[in-house]
Structure 1
Amino acid sequence: MLIHLIQILIFSSFIFLSFLMMSNPLKVNKKANKWFGVFLFLWASFWVDEILILTKANPLSEISTLLISFFQFFTPIILYLSIVFFTNPNYKFRIKDFLFLVLPIAYLILLIISIITPVNIDSILVFTLILHALIFTTLSYLKIRKHQHQINLFSSNTIEIDLKWLEYIVLGIIFIAISITVFNFVYFGLPLNLYINIIMLGGAFFVAYHALRQKEIFPLNEKHREEIIALEDDERLVDIPKRKIIKDEDLVVLKTKLNVLIKNKELYLNHEINLASLSEEMNITSHQLSYIINNGFNQNFFQFINEYRVEKAKTLLMDKSSDNLSILGIAYESGFSSKTAFNTTFKKFTNQTPSEFKKHSSGL
């Protein structure tokens, strides 16, 4: 049957992806990918019963089933922890993190009660499982959204490090959790199983495509990496424009110095430039540089650097001597790391794609 084939594909896909993430052949986001690999392994375990039936193996004992159910309960927590390490590879566990164990322990107690007593508490188990999933997927979503905001404050190329693919996975899990809840109240049968499994198979391919195209989120330079992680973890960073950390007269001088440095050295052409590396060029702290950009130019770091890049790209697009360059070539010449980043950022600044701008300019 079709559903059996899909179940086999899902289980094998997630097991294989789990191995790839934990072995991490690309050597990027190492801690995060190890946790993400564990998440995928636990995700695959939800199809163990189906695989045992299909292979005609002996069913699991009650104790084995209890243990597997208990470890499966950690799936949303492990996903959340992987996202924590994607957004902060230097994260250290704290005492308050043990609060994550409260619901799993409660769930384990409920599982034991369901085995040793005749009372049917299946509905309570399902409710606890879904509530737990919704709590941690919501926390995961909020963590990603915060990261997407913070990277604009210190990174000039954000598209490949904004964890958008993980955001889609989290939203998909929330959607599936809500769907299962609704269907459990009104109907249960093959159509639900087939529907959910088809979505899961699509999810496996989606994860494979994006997980294997990851880029290192934080700079390879250890000093810059630590400084940026400290900045992203600093809740006060978003309040820098409101706090006067540089005198107004000094701000004018530093603003001019920054403009001259950027233009003369064309630092914006380095697609790996970040707040920490630029502050090093300026011989000031990252907090001070952020203040200058926010208060002196009324921009964040992403906007500040990419405005120079877009102006450079516009010059090249209008220059007849650059006609031999492709759009990708112009992107690289302007400091962008990819064609996607170039098109997206260029349109954000000009309301036109590079091709549309070039066509319009040539018609003038």
Structure 2
Amino acid sequence: MFALNICLALNLIILFIAFFFRKNNTLPNKILALILLDTAISFLGNATIVGGYFTNFPYLFFLCWCTSSFFGPLFFTYTCLFTGSCLNLKHPIWISGFLVSAFGLSFPVTYLMLPALERPGFVQSLLSEPLPWQMTVINIFGMLTIWASVFASAGKIRQYRKRLVSTVSNLEKTKLAFITQFVILGLVLTLATSVLYVFLPQYLVEYLYLPCLITFIYFFILFYSFRHHAIFTTETYEQFLKDTLPASEEMVKDEINVTSVHQDELLLLAQRIEAYLTESGIYTNPDLTLGILARGMRMSSDKISAVINKQMNKNFFDLINEKRVEKAKELLEGKINILTIEAIAYEAGFNSRASFYRAFKKCTTFTPSEYLSKPAPVFLAAK
């Protein structure tokens, strides 16, 4: 168990250095690095116990129990940075983490107050049941904080996704898939850890099973981070914020009261939006947002959103993709011998083959290739 914990700790420290001190760094990278460091400190604390080095490095073990409470707040903060929110140390989750950490300070105080002859017995209690009561209390409240962080993160994503599809026409750039997978993995880790604590001896969970589980989960988190290009440079993070800015702004607005707009006005505005989209072809802009459309039509974003949602019974994301699919169908029928399907997708306003295929299938029930293979009557029926 000593070799396992020390090797995992060293690997995580190396990753922490790589993420925290990289050039052109950004706050999300640093928060992810701190999550790795927080876990590495826990593994180093474990190693001092299972390796018999507690008397040499007692405060390293106590440090890990004071810092372990920050895993949940850091996890929540990382999610917030991907959903348009800022770092807020006054959030209840952070306050909970600080309180648990403050309680962790009682651990070394208890040890220091023990007579010298009783300290070896204290060390032995760290390797058998029952563990010191402070460890149990920290674990219970620490897990509650992590559960709160996971649920709060899921709520953030749910709210943010709703805003995105109402304001951004291209979800591919928003990293929504990555942060959703990140929270799902966090949920799996939290659930599995809770089950282990219930059914297995606490010391085995701390020193053996949990390090193995965390390593497995972190492997997937890092894999998805690179796969979805979520390891930012300053430039790419600024572009990410720019791409998701409309939804971030919507997060701080109240929902518009659509009942304040008369039905006749909604109908006229819907016709005006349809006409503008068709005549201007603005939907072929892959970076189109509700704000850009509003500026082009010289209308408020709130009013356009109300019309799309109430009168057209859809969201901005679906409306724009429907227009793009109609454009793609025209190009498929007229330019398929000149352009590739990928080129047609880009010309219609999609920024990737995958997003084009998903939208096309949703609107027509066919893939582009299937659509082309159908006879002419099917073309007409699909329009």
TM-score (norm 2): 0.77
Equivalent pair of 2:35/2:71 in contact (CA under 8 Å): yes
Equivalent pair of 2:69/2:142 in contact (CA under 8 Å): yes
Q: 1:286 aligns with which of 301, 304, 309?
A: 301
From the superposition, tell whether residues 201 and 329 of structure 1 become closer, same or farther in structure 2 (CA, over 3 Å).
same
From the superposition, tell whether residues 359 and 79 of structure 1 become closer, same or farther in structure 2 (CA, over 3 Å).
same
* Residue of structure 1 in register with 2:126 after alignment: none
From the superposition, tell whether residues 138 and 201 of structure 1 become closer, same or farther in structure 2 (CA, over 3 Å).
same
Equivalent pair of 1:310/1:334 in contact (CA under 8 Å): yes
Q: 2:183 aligns with which of 170, 180, 195?
A: 170
State the alpha-carbon separation in 2 of the partners of residues 110 and 19 from structure 1: 26
Q: What is the aligned-residue identity percentage?
A: 22
Equivalent pair of 1:87/1:147 in contact (CA under 8 Å): yes
- 5+ residue gaps, structure 2, are 115-130, 379-383
The one-character-per-residue Cα deviations of 1:122-141 (angstroms, maximum 9, x if unpaired) are: 22222222221111111111
State the alpha-carbon separation in 1 of the partners of residues 41 and 320 from structure 2: 46
State the alpha-carbon separation in 1 of the partners of residues 368 and 284 from structure 2: 17
Residue 223 of structure 2 aligns with an amino acid whose one-letter code is: F
Residue 45 of structure 1 aligns with an amino acid whose one-letter code is: I
* Residue of structure 2 in register with 1:142 after alignment: 155
1:81 aligns with 2:77: yes
From the superposition, tell whether residues 71 and 306 of structure 1 become closer, same or farther in structure 2 (CA, over 3 Å).
same
Q: 2:102 aligns with which of 105, 108, 116?
A: 108
From the superposition, tell whether residues 37 and 361 of structure 1 become closer, same or farther in structure 2 (CA, over 3 Å).
farther
Secondary structure of the residue aligned to 1:74 is: helix
State the alpha-carbon separation in 1 of the partners of residues 247 and 326 from structure 2: 27
Equivalent pair of 2:39/2:68 in contact (CA under 8 Å): yes
1:328 Cα deviation (Å)? 1.7
Residue 31 of structure 2 aligns with an amino acid whose one-letter code is: W
Residue 189 of structure 2 aligns with an amino acid whose one-letter code is: I
1:151 aligns with 2:164: yes
Equivalent pair of 1:275/1:301 in contact (CA under 8 Å): yes
State the alpha-carbon separation in 1 of the partners of residues 179 and 247 from structure 2: 21
Residue 258 of structure 1 aligns with an amino acid whose one-letter code is: I
* Residue of structure 1 in register with 2:119 after alignment: none
* Residue of structure 2 in register with 1:19 after alignment: 20
Equivalent pair of 1:6/1:198 in contact (CA under 8 Å): no
Q: How does 1:166-205 map to 2 (within 5 A)?
A: 166-187=179-200, 189=204, 190=208, 193-205=211-223
1:58 Cα deviation (Å)? 8.9
1:67 aligns with 2:63: yes
- 5+ residue gaps, structure 1, are none
State the alpha-carbon separation in 2 of the partners of residues 5 and 208 from structure 1: 25
Q: 1:310 aligns with which of 308, 325, 345?
A: 325
State the alpha-carbon separation in 2 of the partners of residues 18 and 204 from structure 1: 11
1:232 aligns with 2:251: yes
Larger radius of gyration: 2
Query: How many residues are aligned here?
Result: 348
* Residue of structure 2 in register with 1:323 after alignment: 337
From the superposition, tell whether residues 311 and 52 of structure 1 become closer, same or farther in structure 2 (CA, over 3 Å).
farther
